[in-house]
Structure 1
Amino acid sequence: MTEQLDSDGRLRHLLTLENLPREIICRLLDRAGQIRDTALGRTQRRNSLDGTTICTLFFEPSTRTRSSFQIAAQRLCADVLNFDASTSSTRKGETARDTLKNLEAMGVRGFVVRHSDDGAVAALAEAAGEGTALVNAGDGRSAHPTQGLLDMLTLRQAKGADFSRLKVLMVGDVAHSRVARTDLHALRTLGAGEIRVCGPRSLLPDDATLDGCVVGEDFDALLEGVDAVMMLRLQRERMEEGLVSSLDDYHRDYGLTAQRLARAAADAVVLHPGPINRGVEITDEVADGPQSLVLRQVSNGVAIRMAVLEALLG
């Protein structure tokens, strides 16, 4: 895979959190914390990317991630070009690589790329010229590094920087989730004390993804005493594939209700990457309740993406 770091150990691209040094992750989290007020429009925009053009090159639909990157770039005074695959020359047969090279020839220096294929963003980074930086905004089932960073920032704000004291439970469709893989990499790198993973056997991976985790199918048992619950979206196509019997059965066994949440630590927090399937993986009472950090995750996304763009292009 394309090297993410240059010869001086600085970020060239952000493709994955796997094997990314702890100090770089912490530096990005620290920076995001420092500029959060600017990210939310409470203080004047920074001009660190004034004159830089950034393209959101999305080959998959997105609401939160795309909007968040666009706001982040604008807060840094960058010019933003939004690419829509459905109305582009990709429908005429142009490859993603040719699309990137043509935009690069127009002076675009930063690309935020979402793609349905595993490894697609790394392949584009390999083709990119000197001085061009790519950010993986989600590829296949592999990685979503800025989501992982914003989740870690949210956890750190709620629980402090010492992750070694934390018991974290991840619940749901881990096998098909790039968010799950990314968060697991980040939690290990930051030294989480105990990582628990729960879901039906059909939705749990059988590879090294769960190494070092406490894994089981009993949601109620694994909830006992945890400090954070990270719920994952149930992708409804899993029902068509026969991996889930019904939405009602899934909610009965793996839906987070207020009654279930009472098994966790009294000050436990709830995260969800969105979009939420209310009444399936989580109830309204929990999603909108005092222990939910879902909207804080969204707001932290702008700060994290500002920090990433600044580190790569500033």
Structure 2
Amino acid sequence: MKAYWKKLLHSWQLHVLFFLPLMYVLIFKYYPMYGAQIAFRDFVASKGVMGSEWVGLEHFIRFFQSYDFWRILGNTLELALYQLAVGFPFPIILALSLNYVRSGRFKRSVQMITYAPHFISVVVMVGIILQFLDPRTGMINNALGLLGMEPIHFMADPALFKSIYVWSDIWQNVGWGCIVYLAALASINPTLHEAAVVDGASIVRRIWHVDIPGILPITIILLILNTGNLMDLGFEKVLLMQNPLNLSASEIIDTYVYKVGLSSAVVNFSYATAIGLFKSVINLTLLVLLNQAARKVGQESLW
């Protein structure tokens, strides 16, 4: 025990650095789990969490039996899977492409141009999207007019909403997402590429047999983490892009919770918490299943 305290005092600076993120996790991640029991109570603020009446699964049943349940769940899953299927490969493709760019100036320019949109706020980004897609003054519809085509009211078509959301998200985050893959590519032993060049391998062959296997572990880890957050689309961007004409395709769980549970005439914290807990259970289930699948095929896993 004495040796432990001696070692602790010897490296106290590291423990101080570790203490700050530890407190962040405990306060903002673990402590809020205490409030998750609100989902099983008829929460009244004046009575507190423990003093509120226990109602069991009443709020979950209410959500499952609501008229909009299947439409909202379907919209959320469709948008989440669309974003994962399209958005996940693009940072990898960009990183692989930049890895073979010989011109340093061109590479830095592309990186700066693709990184910059990530730092634009969601509100400004949605404003830019609406300006581009405006049926009267938007850049895209002006280009269609020059080609003799009729303007398209993009934001009024429910069928186009998910594509606009996903592809604008790729535009905003693809550069930022490729950073980790560029770092992984930089860690690949250069002798592997030298041997491949000596053997006459083309760039495509080098990517397939050297680069992709080299970044596969980090790719699997990020895929597992992204799947674990599949249902967490957030509501800011979706809410700002919503209008009465595209609501049938744009209403997702997060916006439904905000409208029904928090911004309605009667605020219902218990109902909103129950829906959020339901979404978290789905995320946890997907995380565990994909992690187990990765372990079974011999790939990297979280645990």
Larger Rg over CA atoms: 2
Normalising by structure 1, what TM-score? 0.24
Task: For CA contacts below 8 A with separation 6 or more, give which structure has more relative contact order.
Answer: 2
Q: Which of the two has greater strand per residue? A: 1
Q: Which of the two has greater helix per residue? A: 2
Normalising by structure 2, what TM-score? 0.25
